């Protein structure tokens, strides 16, 4: 029996602009999870998509009027390094910017999640981060083991329009992996990937027992969208008989970018109370909370 935690994290600009505040926030969420049923080697603590991607805002001014404005000001501040990458590799703006600041972004992200995994001796799926590789950028989820080491990574295969417009690249299917953890064998399908049968069926065929779907939805969470969302992890759990699927959602607002969603932990209907397919769900669509279930 594994202890599963979906972290419904509330995004605000302040939590991404300062490394110390970021680390304290990630730790506070883990502490909240630990207070529910304890964390340990048989636990899986999953944070939402983009919780590392928005570290591109490190050092951004809080008075910025929009996400675009904040990034424009940061680009101006780091212009010499940005220009070096842009001119050396002929990279477009986002890729040059991430290249210029990658060490700082990675250090902040990896230190925060490694510390949490090590302190609570748990397996942690650290949401996702935008990672430059060569001339490309991928949206990548990292897995940390109870010793705080990187135990796996999974790049997103299917992209939403905004990601494609920003120049993020889709990962090939050959990069899909299943990872062994104390909670079971997990397959990570980043947000939209859990809606895609080509990804989910491949992870199932590779022996995944638990599906992990870190998500960030930048649309109002309406009843119709909630019903549509059942075509992701919920449907995958029914079709492929995953022991469970963990879907943490981002909530909150970062400048002019707003997130809503209801985090959940799902399973085959015959393994859930009332045959609903839900082991646990968040109580709100816009507040920070931890969703917990055993499976």
For residue 205, give both structure tokens. Answer: 């065929």
Question: What sign for the dihedral angle of Cα 205, 243, 35, 39?
Answer: negative
For residue 89, give both structure tokens. Answer: 């590799």
Q: For the chain, list residues with pLDDT below 50.
A: 82, 84-91
Residue ranges per structural domain of the chain: 3-294
Q: What is the DSSP string of 2-70?
A: -EEEEEEEEE-THHHH-HHHHHHHHHHHHHHHHHHH---TTEEEEEPTTTTGGGGGTT--TT-SSHHHH
Q: How many other CB atoms sit within 10 Å of the CB of residue 219?
A: 10
pLDDT at 78: 59
**H helices then E strands: how many in the chain?**
9, 15
- Max CA separation in the chain (angstroms): 60
| 48-79 confidence digits (pLDDT tens) | 999 999 998 998 887 778 877 777 777 776 55
pLDDT at 91: 47
pLDDT at 77: 65
Global pTM? 0.95
Q: Which residues contact 192 (CB under 8 A, 6 or more apart)?
A: 156, 158, 159, 160
Burial (Cβ within 10 Å: 0-12, 13-18, ≥19) of residue 198: exposed
Beta bridge partners of 190: none
pLDDT at 65: 82
Q: Which homologous superfamily does the CATH classification assign to the domain defined by 3-294?
A: Carbon-nitrogen hydrolase (3.60.110.10)
Listed residue (15, 48, 41, 70) closest to 213, CA to CA: 48
pLDDT at 285: 98
Q: Apex CA 263: angle with CA 270 and CA 239, to 5°?
A: 35
For residue 102, give both structure tokens. Answer: 């990658």
pLDDT at 61: 83
pLDDT at 158: 98
pLDDT at 92: 57
pLDDT at 81: 56
């Amino acid at each position: 029996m594994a202890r599963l935690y979906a972290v419904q994290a509330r995004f605000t600009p302040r939590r991404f602009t300062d490394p110390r505040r970021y680390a304290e926030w990630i730790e506070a969420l883990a502490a909240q999870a630990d207070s529910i049923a304890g964390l340990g080697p048989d636990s899986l603590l999953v944070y939402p998509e983009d919780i590392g991607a928005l570290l591109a805002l490190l050092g951004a001014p809080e008075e910025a009027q929009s996400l675009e404005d904040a990034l424009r000001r940061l680009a101006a501040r780091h212009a010499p390094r940005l220009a070096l990458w842009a001119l050396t590799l002929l990279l477009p703006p986002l890729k040059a910017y991430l290249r210029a600041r990658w060490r700082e972004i990675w250090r902040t992200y990896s230190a925060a999640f490694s510390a949490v995994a090590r302190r609570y001796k748990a397996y942690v799926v650290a949401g996702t981060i935008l990672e430059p590789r060569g001339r490309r950028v991928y949206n990548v989820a990292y897995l940390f083991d109870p010793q705080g080491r990187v135990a796996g990574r999974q790049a997103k295969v299917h992209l939403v329009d905004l990601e494609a417009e920003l120049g993020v690249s889709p990962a090939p299917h050959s990069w899909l992996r299943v990872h062994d953890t104390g909670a079971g064998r997990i397959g990570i399908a980043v947000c939209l990937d859990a809606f895609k049968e080509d990804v989910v069926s491949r992870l199932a065929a590779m022996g995944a027992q638990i599906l992990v779907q870190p998500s960030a939805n930048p649309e109002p969470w309406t009843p119709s969208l909630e019903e549509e969302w059942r075509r992701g992890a919920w449907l995958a759990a029914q079709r492929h008989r995953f022991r469970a699927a963990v879907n943490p959602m981002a909530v909150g607002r970062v400048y002019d970018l707003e997130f809503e969603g209801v985090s959940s932990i799902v399973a085959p209907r015959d393994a859930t109370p009332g045959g609903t397919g839900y082991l646990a769900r968040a109580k709100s669509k816009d507040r920070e909370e931890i969703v917990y279930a055993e499976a």
